[in-house]
């Protein structure tokens, strides 16, 4: 049985708020790699950026 990533769990199931550096690592890595090779202005990373923000919001962090 596979585990559901914590960023896909409801806020109630995430017991304590972790540090922002310790969550959404896969999403962050993919976003950073895309931005490194394509740049933010290219628009090619917009979906990855959005996914990272959604994941962070799942942990209670506000994103701009």
Give the per-residue pLDDT at 16. 74
pTM of the model: 0.72
Cα–Cα distance for residue pair 23/26, rounded to 1 Å: 9
Cα–Cα distance for residue pair 30/23, rounded to 1 Å: 13
Give the per-residue pLDDT at 49. 97
| Domain assignments of the chain as residue spans, ordered by start | 6-58
Give the model confidence (pLDDT) of 2-61 as tens digits: 445 556 655 555 467 899 999 999 999 999 999 999 999 999 999 999 999 999 999 999
Of the chain, the end-to-end C-alpha distance in Å amounts to 35
Give the per-residue pLDDT at 17. 82
Give the per-residue pLDDT at 25. 97
Which sign does the torsion angle of CA 21, 42, 33, 11 carry?
A: positive
């Amino acid at each position: 049985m596979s585990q559901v990533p914590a960023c896909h769990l409801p806020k109630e199931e995430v017991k304590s708020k972790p540090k922002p550096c310790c969550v959404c690592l896969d999403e962050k890595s993919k976003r950073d790699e895309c931005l490194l090779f394509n740049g933010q202005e290219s628009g090619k990373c917009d979906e990855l950026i959005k996914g990272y923000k959604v994941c962070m919001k799942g942990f209670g962090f506000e994103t701009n």
